[in-house]
């Protein structure tokens, strides 16, 4: 098929583009490189089926030729990035989502939206099923991302009901892996600090939890969601819950570091707990994560080590 991947030069987007190419699809990667990186797709540029279009999907999305599927991944995804680009984050979740949906509608293409576990906010239901409506502060600093994704889900469902667009919504929980970059999230922060011999900055007392899903497993879930054509939303994440402190210790051990842990204040509206109920993904997609945390972290540390070694 011929797939448009918005945000295709980003962390998850570049892995999805690579996977689609590996199975014989053509990929049009659309990215304005505000948070994506050209180096993430450098190895794909010589592939005959890969084309890069530098474009801001919030402004417009004009693609010539056939389009079979639109995968809308464009958005800042780390707190550091969406707090730096708050208006842009809201625009890509609103205008960007509409432009991507319009492209799918014009071409009678399937549409995949990557939403986020952040739509659940600081959850009062644990683990989080797709039926939970969330506990989001609509005027807090994180709302620019949370509400942008909640709006994009609403827009997606409106296009499905009104225009008959074949849409699928997936909610991603704490993906990690190579190409993540040092964007302020827990895994890259701890890895870069440990490799540099710096203190690992644990927010709060470190008891808050996350559910980490290795990027290869996540991309498998995205491809299965496209194939199944379910409307969703469907949670894609790892139901193995880990505290932030335990995560820091695990990364320190894998890095062979003696860095101490130091504790810093938690950011506003930081969720206390996060764990997906993946019953729907198991039932509808036949999907569950396979990569153990230690294996995924080892691969991630190796990528960071090599990248840092080759950085001037």
User: Which residues are the active-site residues?
Assistant: 145
Measure the CA–CA gap between 159 and 105, rounded to whole angstroms. 8
Q: How far apart are CA 285 and CA 227, in angstroms?
A: 9
Do 234 and 204 meet the contact criterion of CB atoms below 8 Å apart? no
Phi, psi (degrees; rounded to nearest 5) at 29: -90, 120
Nearest to 178 by CA among 307, 34, 4: 307
Q: Which residues contact 208 (CB under 8 A, 6 or more apart)?
A: 243, 244, 266, 270, 271, 272, 273
- Cβ proximity of 40 and 10 under 8 Å: yes
Strands (E) across 73-199 are located at: 110-116, 167-172, 175-176
């Amino acid at each position: 098929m011929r797939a448009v991947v918005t945000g295709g030069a980003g962390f998850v987007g570049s892995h999805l583009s690579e996977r689609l190419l590996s199975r014989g699809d053509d990929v049009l990667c659309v990215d304005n490189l505000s948070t994506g990186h050209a180096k993430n797709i450098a190895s794909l540029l010589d592939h005959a089926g890969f084309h890069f279009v530098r474009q801001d999907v919030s402004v417009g999305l004009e693609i010539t030729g056939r389009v079979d599927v639109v995968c809308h991944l464009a958005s800042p995804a780390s707190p550091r990035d969406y707090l730096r680009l708050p208006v842009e984050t809201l625009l890509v979740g609103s205008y960007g989502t509409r432009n991507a949906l319009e492209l799918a509608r014009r071409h009678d293409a399937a549409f995949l939206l990557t939403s986020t576990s952040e739509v659940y906010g600081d959850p009062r239901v644990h683990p989080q099923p797709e039926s939970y409506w969330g506990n989001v502060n609509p005027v807090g600093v994180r709302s620019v991302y949370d509400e942008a994704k909640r709006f994009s889900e609403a827009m997606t469902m409106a296009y499905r009901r009104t225009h008959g667009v074949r849409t699928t919504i997936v909610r991603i929980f704490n993906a990690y892996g190579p190409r993540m970059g040092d964007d302020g999230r827990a895994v890259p922060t701890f890895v870069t600090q440990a490799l540099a011999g710096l203190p690992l900055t644990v927010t709060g007392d470190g008891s808050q939890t996350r559910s980490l899903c290795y990027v290869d497993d996540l991309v498998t879930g995205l491809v299965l969601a496209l194939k199944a054509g379910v409307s969703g939303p469907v949670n894609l994440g790892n139901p193995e819950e880990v505290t932030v402190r335990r995560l820091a210790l695990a990364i320190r051990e894998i890095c062979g570091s003696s860095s101490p842990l130091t504790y810093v204040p938690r950011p506003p509206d930081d969720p206390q707990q996060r764990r997906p109920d993946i019953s729907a993904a198991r039932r509808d997609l036949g999907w569950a994560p396979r990569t153990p945390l230690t294996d995924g972290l080892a691969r991630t540390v190796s990528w960071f080590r090599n990248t840092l070694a080759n950085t001037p």
